[in-house]
Amino acid sequence: MAEMLNIDLTDEQKYFYRQNGFLSIPRITTGEEIDWLKTIYDKVFADRTGEEKGFFYDLAGPRGHDGRNELPQALGPDISIPELRESIYYKNAKRLSSQLLTLDQEVHVGGHMIYKPAKYGAETPWHQDEAYWDPEVFSNGLSVWMPLDSVMKESGCMQFIPGSHKGDVKWHRHIDDNPLVHGLVTDDVDPSEAIACPLPAGGATFHHTRTLHYTAPNTTDNPRRAYILVCSGPEEKRDKPAYRPWQDEERQAMKAAKIDVEYL
Ligand SMILES: O=C(O)CCC(=O)C(=O)O
């Protein structure tokens, strides 16, 4: 892992991101690092790392259910595996994100992994990331999404609505209208406008906190392993919190079900 892969964004790529709210690049790390990451990734999902703290759960199923996980997600894998922070992926994601966010300081990074095994799993429905985020602040961030396997529409590559980052946060609801399901969905979207971004393993997409995005269920014979880094600059406090009642609904449902997690 000693080597580095230096990538820079062109002015055209930065302009594309500003206009469309997403960007796709064919490579952000090396094939060697992808092989290393696959071993870590498979162990995280086999061990359900962090489940006792609420860091591992089914994004498309109610908290605490003991059936098949339709959309397993692991939050903060770098908390238990800090070597991930030394990866080429991590370093490039940080550097390229500060270029897109036009920051001259280091970005803060949080990570998560979403797994769609072969011929298995739910869609990740249309949503904007900011719908999940702190309503007390104006966020200033983006997500870097890297597949460890080559991806196309049928295996769950990212799909975006160009320009949707320029609008407000849409109305969201919990999947299945069940506030014990963490995953959110918005119905305020026209999927015919979507642009799909197929990628090789080790490629990446970047998307703004407000860009509408979606991934399909994995109907292929190959797994779809995605490792996502959320990179943010300083946040600005709002005078009045944004109205995101779905977040309170979830908190109340968790309290009523006596489910206590460190992260919501
Ligand atoms: O990997 C997926 O299926 C969805 C990823 C996503 O929604 C995100 O990175 O914000």
SS3 per residue for the chain? CCCCCCCCCCHHHHHHHHHHCEEEECCCCCHHHHHHHHHHHHHHHHHCCCHHHCCEEECCCECCCCCCCCCEEEECHHHHCHHHHHCHHHHHHHHHHHHHCCCCCCCEEEEEEEEECCCECCCEEEECHHHHCCCCEECCEEEEEEECCCECHHHCCEEECCCHHHCCCCCCEEHHHCCCECCEECCCCCHHHCEEECECCCCEEEEECCCCEEECCECCCCCEEEEEEEEECCCEECCCCCCCHHHHHHHHHHHHCCCCCCCC
Best mutation site among 143, 159, 212 for ligand 1, i.e. most ligand atoms within 8 A of its Cβ?
A: 143
Banded pLDDT at 121 (limits 50, 70, 90): confident
Q: Which two tokens stand for residue 263?
A: 């992260």
**Residue entry with tokens 């990740």:** 124
- Dihedral of CA atoms 153, 61, 260, 144 in degrees, nearest 10, equals 0
**pLDDT recorded at residue 264:** 62
Residue type, 155: S
Ligand 1 neighbours by CB, cut-off 6 Å: 114, 124, 129, 143, 145, 156, 213, 215, 226, 228
| Residue 26 scores a pLDDT above 70 | yes
Length of the chain: 264
Q: What is the CA(158)–ligand 1 centre distance, in A?
A: 7
pTM, two decimals, is: 0.96
Whether the Cβ atoms of residue 130 and residue 136 lie closer than 8 Å to each other: no
**pLDDT recorded at residue 61:** 92
Q: What is the mean pLDDT of residues 101-122?
A: 92
**Residue entry with tokens 């079900």:** 257
Banded pLDDT at 88 (limits 50, 70, 90): very high
Q: What is the CA(216)–ligand 1 centre distance, in A?
A: 10
Best mutation site among 128, 146, 215 for ligand 1, i.e. most ligand atoms within 8 A of its Cβ?
A: 215
**pLDDT recorded at residue 263:** 62
**pLDDT recorded at residue 166:** 97
**Domain at 11-256, CATH class:** mainly beta
Banded pLDDT at 262 (limits 50, 70, 90): low
Banded pLDDT at 259 (limits 50, 70, 90): confident
Q: Mean pLDDT lowest for which of 66-70, 134-138, 179-183?
A: 66-70
Q: What is the mean pLDDT of residues 113-118?
A: 96
Give the C-alpha separation, 29 to 202, whole Å.
5
Q: Which of 201, 197, 225 is nearest to 211 (CA)?
A: 197
Ligand 1 atom closest to the CA of 127, numbered from 1: 7
Give the residue whose CA is nearest to atom 10 of ligand 1. 129
Report the half-sphere exposure of 13 (CA within 13 A, side-chain side). Answer: 16
Note the pLDDT tens digit of each residue in 195-252.
999 999 999 999 999 999 999 999 999 999 999 999 999 999 999 999 999 999 999 9
The pLDDT mean for the chain works out to 95
Q: What is the mean pLDDT of residues 95-111?
A: 93
Contacts of 17 (CB under 8 A, 6+ apart): 9, 23, 100, 206, 208
Q: Percentage of residues in the chain with pLDDT exceeding 90?
A: 87
Domain extents in the chain? 11-256
From residue 171, how far is each of 2, 174, 175 by CA, in Å? 45, 11, 13
Q: Percentage of residues in the chain with pLDDT exceeding 70?
A: 98
Q: What is the mean pLDDT of residues 123-144?
A: 96
Q: What is the mean pLDDT of residues 144-157?
A: 98
Q: What is the mean pLDDT of residues 70-91?
A: 96
| Residue 50 scores a pLDDT above 70 | yes
**pLDDT recorded at residue 261:** 67
| Residue 123 scores a pLDDT above 90 | yes
Give the C-alpha separation, 134 to 237, whole Å.
10
Banded pLDDT at 98 (limits 50, 70, 90): very high
| Residue 3 scores a pLDDT above 80 | no
